[in-house]
Structures are given as C-alpha cells and as structure tokens.
Amino acid sequence: MKRLILFLVLLLPALTIKAQQQLSYAYDAAGNRTSRTIVLGTRGADATVNQTDSVFFEEVLAEKRVKIYPNPVQYELTISITGYEQSMRGEYSLFNLGGSMLVRRGITGEITRVDMSRYPKGIYILNIQLEGRPTSWKIIKQ
C-alpha cells in the first residue's frame, strides 16, 4: 500500500506537467469578450514557455486588417493597419467616457502611435474611420 501511495505521489506532478491548459479569448471591436477557448497542449518538463505581454485586438475594416495594441496601455498605443496605402483616407479620435474629444488626428501610414502617457488611468473610446467606415474600440489606460 505504501508503494502505491508513493507511486501516485510521484506520478501526479508528472501528469500535471504533461497536460497543460491555456485559455484563449476573443474580443469584439468594443473590447467585450465574445468567446473563450481552452487550448490543450503537451510539453515536457524541460520546455520553456515564451510569453509576451503584448495584448492586441484586431478587426477587418475597409478590407484592411486593423490591429490595436497593447490594451491595456500605459504609455503608447499602436494602431497598425496592414496594407495601408497613402491614397487612403483615415483618421482616429480619442474620447474619454464623458464624451470629450481628447485628440483627433489623421492616419498617414501602416503604423500610427497614440501618446497615452499624459492621460489619467481609466477607460477611453478610440474611434477609427478608414475610407468612410467607422469602428470603435474600448481602451484601458493603466
């Protein structure tokens, strides 16, 4: 009986190392979680996990992939538009929850950076308009 208990005690950590679960979440353009997926994977005890802190949200707008990251943001928010062309018309506006517009600027390239360091912690609304098509994003400032 002692051998069985010892065997189970030694086997239990090996099983937890082999069967790892990871959650993957999907969000809509407003930042609301729409689905949760459990990703099962196996890895050995000597495997390393390479995690990044860059959380991003993406959406297709005017047939271009728009990616907003990191969210929550501390200093600088990045708007990435894959395939943006100079002939396109785009702009972004940042609002606080009181409805006051904080900044409104044009989008001039694939990467646009928004300086969030001067704003207090809280929740903001980022409106992006690309080729006349609007989208809104909920941004959290830490």
Q: Is the pLDDT of residue 123 over 90?
A: yes
Confidence at residue 31, expressed as pLDDT on a 0 to 100 scale = 74
Q: Average the pLDDT over 118-142 and give the result.
A: 91
Q: Average the pLDDT over 104-122 and give the result.
A: 93
How far apart, in whole angstroms, are the C-alpha atoms of residue 84 and residue 54?
Answer: 22
Confidence at residue 85, expressed as pLDDT on a 0 to 100 scale = 87
Model confidence over 19-53: pLDDT tens digits?
A: 455 666 677 777 777 666 655 554 444 433 333 44
Residue type, 53: D
How far apart, in whole angstroms, are the C-alpha atoms of residue 102 and residue 124?
Answer: 10
Confidence at residue 54, expressed as pLDDT on a 0 to 100 scale = 46
Helix (H) or strand (E) holding 31: none
Confidence at residue 44, expressed as pLDDT on a 0 to 100 scale = 42
What class is the 57-141 domain? Answer: mainly beta
Model confidence over 70-111: pLDDT tens digits?
A: 888 999 999 998 888 888 889 999 999 999 999 999 998 999
What is the domain partition of the chain in residue ranges?
Answer: 57-141
How far apart, in whole angstroms, are the C-alpha atoms of residue 88 and residue 122?
Answer: 32
DSSP 85: -
Q: What is the pTM of this model?
A: 0.59
Residues 6+ apart with CB under 8 A from 30: 136, 137, 138
